[in-house]
Chain A
Amino acid sequence: MFWVVLALSIVVWLAVIGVAIYAMRRNRDIASDHTGLWLILGGGVIIPTVVLSVLLVWSLGVMPTLREPSRPPALVVEISAERFWWRVRYRDANLVVDSANELRLPLGEPVEIILTSPDVIHSFWVPNLAGKMDAIPGRTTRLLLEPERVGRFRGQCAEFCGTSHAQMAFAVEVMPRAGFDRWIAAEARPAVPLAGAVLFETHGCGACHMIRGTAARGTAGPDLTHVGSRRTIAAAALPMREADLIRWIAHTEDVKPEVNMPSFAMLPRRDIEALATYLLALK
């Protein structure tokens, strides 16, 4: 479609420029009213109407095929954009895997991203992979993309959604199929049992966060089952390091103003450190 429209545009442009050059170089004799009238009617009314009508009918005819995926999507990812993070659910024929704030995609395969939002309008945007698509409360929108090269790409909420809108980002990692299969199989497993789970539960973190395989069953915030394998904290606001995890747990408001998670500065320092160690170990 792009090439056809481009070719037709070049033909029209050449014709217009050609006529303009001709008009500048011809004798200064004034054309008769009759010739002028037909030039205006032909060049200004009839030709543009015919060209635009043909282009409109042709492009409307091919549009339905452009909207369909070239092949059925190999993977469906449901993403709920929430203030100020991304709830991610991978779905294929065999499994359903919950994750958050990071997206991993297999190389060279069509992926369907299904977007929703429970609060305000957000926009899912990974400039290296595709155009923007809004996530709108009460509606489902979808985006088809097919990553063509391996790499890590930054994604960003592209519709102002509140004070921490700029810190509502995420990373997309495109990986070969074999690596993706290994990763998704690991992501689907419950967390390894660790001593820190008791502390996590004692301080009430499990009311909002899910860690599969433990007593933490909350769904208000991001799923943390394998949070230690992610490269960032709080929707790409901070790198995944112990010092930054401690800062995040103790001072959420300083990192992301108006975030739903309260600051836990009232906890004993050693408990916060132990929680950070526990979360980092959830690979």
Chain B
Amino acid sequence: MAGDEDEQELGTEVAALLWIALGPAIWTAHFLGVYITGAVLCAKTPAVALGTTRIVTVLLTLAALAMLLVLLRLAWRRWDVVRHGDILHEGDSVEDRHRFGGHAAFLLTGLAIIGVLMMALPPFFIDTCR
């Protein structure tokens, strides 16, 4: 039985790490999507590149924001501040580690939302590929 509990806890911790990494991973994918689309279109079809890049940027940004907002809500629930009435979780119980994962995921997802919004801006301000 003890072995099962250890395995279960290990599974929870791996899940917590995945939670923490998911927000930055979506941010990375959005960054690469916008950047590579702009670079390839500007190199291949400079005349129509900006219009297409803007459309792709809007679509990728909406998709990334939708995923990040869902993740933000799930991380908030995992952090569980309202029920505990405390933002901190300094014990060494499974629940504290669970809440730590939620807290870290919440902050990183918030950062990723700001990063995605900032990355979406340049295609709307530049007016040539040069």
> Which A positions have Cβ atoms within 8 angstroms of B?
37, 45, 49, 52-53, 56-57, 60-61, 63-64, 67, 142
Contacts and interface: CB of A to CB of B under 8 A. Distances in A.
B29 interface: no
Nearest to A142: B130
Contact of B126 (A52, A53, A57, A63): A63
B126 A56 contact: no
Secondary structure of the A contact surface, majority rule: helix
Contacts of B122: 60
B121 A60 contact: yes
B125 A37 contact: no
Contacts of A61: 125
B125 A64 contact: yes
Given A37-B87, A49-B114, A64 B121 contact: no
A23 B114 CA distance: 29
A45 B122 CA distance: 22
Interface string B100-130: 0000000000100010001001100111101
Contacts of A142: 130
B127 A64 contact: yes
Contacts of A45: 110
B118 to A, nearest CB: 6
23 contacts: A37-B87, A45-B110, A49-B114, A52-B118, A53-B114, A53-B118, A56-B118, A56-B121, A57-B121, A60-B121, A60-B122, A60-B125, A60-B126, A61-B125, A63-B125, A63-B126, A64-B125, A64-B126, A64-B127, A64-B128, A67-B128, A67-B130, A142-B130
Given A37-B87, A56-B118, A60-B121, 17 more contacts: A45-B110, A49-B114, A53-B114, A53-B118, A56-B121, A57-B121, A60-B122, A60-B125, A63-B125, A63-B126, A64-B125, A64-B126, A64-B127, A64-B128, A67-B128, A67-B130, A142-B130
Contacts of A57: 121
Contacts of B114: 49, 53
Contacts of A63: 125-126
Nearest to B126: A64
A53 B110 CA distance: 15
B128 to A, nearest CB: 8
Nearest to B127: A64
B43 to A, nearest CB: 9
Contacts of B125: 60-61, 63-64
A68 B118 CA distance: 24
Nearest to B43: A139
B117 to A, nearest CB: 8
Contacts of B118: 52-53, 56
Contacts of B126: 60, 63-64
Contacts of B127: 64
Nearest to B122: A60
A62 to B, nearest CB: 9
Q: Which 3 A-B pairs have the closest CB atoms?
A: A60-B125, A64-B127, A60-B121
Interface string B68-108: 00000000000000000001000000000000000000000
A167 B11 CA distance: 62
A111 to B, nearest CB: 17
